Structures are given as structure tokens and as C-alpha cells.
Amino acid sequence: MQHSSFEIQYKSFKDASELSEQDQFLINETRKIATAAYAPYSGFKVASLAQMENGTMVHGTNQENASYPIGLCAERVMLAAISTIAPQVEIKNICISYISDKQGSDVPIAPCGVCRQSLVEFESRFSGNIRLLLTGQSGEVFEFNSVSDLLPMAFKKNNLIS
């Protein structure tokens, strides 16, 4: 028997002021976009903003529904928009933030499992890394060099090809 493990590396910043002006812009825009989320049931509004290779910005917000299972996460709304308007343009950076009506929004938020799989799928389309910034409305910011870091052993297209 052999023991194995995964190591996930990321950078943690005290707040957005420790990042570049471009990253601060992405974070501030994402924080603003979160206010547009449709979350009347949970009060948990999430926004995702992608900076494309060509400089275009595409965003998404979570969309709740009274029938909870059919709601959509911000990340998948954003990816669907990108697939529709710019399917051949690579994503360079993604920022995710949130606002909670029930608690503070000062710690980074991470995508759910379904969104992690969706992000990895999109990253694998271009065989490159998508850099990820995770944050709340204030406070600490996490930076990952690849969305794949959030989902070790992801199911990918090469699992389907024999």
C-alpha cells in the first residue's frame, strides 16, 4: 500500500489593497455586481466576474427559485454567458464575491462542487490555467493560480476517451 496526498497552494492577502490595481478593479466590480443577484430566499447573493483574454468582462449572479433545486449559481450563469457570446475566447481571471443578508461578508467564498467541476471543464477547453480570486465584500482575498486547484482528481474529457 502507498499513501498519497494532494497539496493545494494559494496566496492569502489581508485585503484587496495588497493586490495590483487590475485585481482591485476586478474585486470591486465583482462586489458591486453581487447586489444584482436574485436571492430572495437565502439572502445569499453571489457574483462571478470573468476577465477574458481579449479584455472583455463577463459576469453572472446566482438566480434562486422557489423550487430550490432549479436555482443557478453565479459561476454557471457566467460560464453559460461566456459560452454564448465568446465561446472561443479564453478566460484569464475569475473573481467571486458575495453579500449575505444574515451574516457578515468578510471572508472569501469558494464555489460549490458543481461549479468547481464546471470551471475545470471550461479551463480544460483551452488547456490553460484560469486564475481565481475569492473574496467577500471586505477582508481577506484568496488567489489560486488555477481553478483545478479547487478540485483535485476532477473528471475531465480524457476520462471519456479510450
Active-site residues, by number, are 75
- CA distances to 14, 81, 93, 144 from 45, rounded to whole Å, are 23, 18, 20, 22
139 and 133 Cβ atoms separated by less than 8 Å: no
What's the distance, CA 109 to chain centroid? 9
The whole-angstrom separation of Cα 157 and Cα 100 is: 35
Closest CA relative to residue 86, chosen from 117, 58, 120, 47: 58
- What is the rounded end-to-end Cα distance, in angstroms, of the chain? 27
Order of strands, sheet of 131-135, starting from the edge strand that comes earlier in the sequence: 11-13, 141-144, 131-135, 91-100, 44-52, 57-61
| Residue 57: how many other CB atoms lie within 10 Å | 15
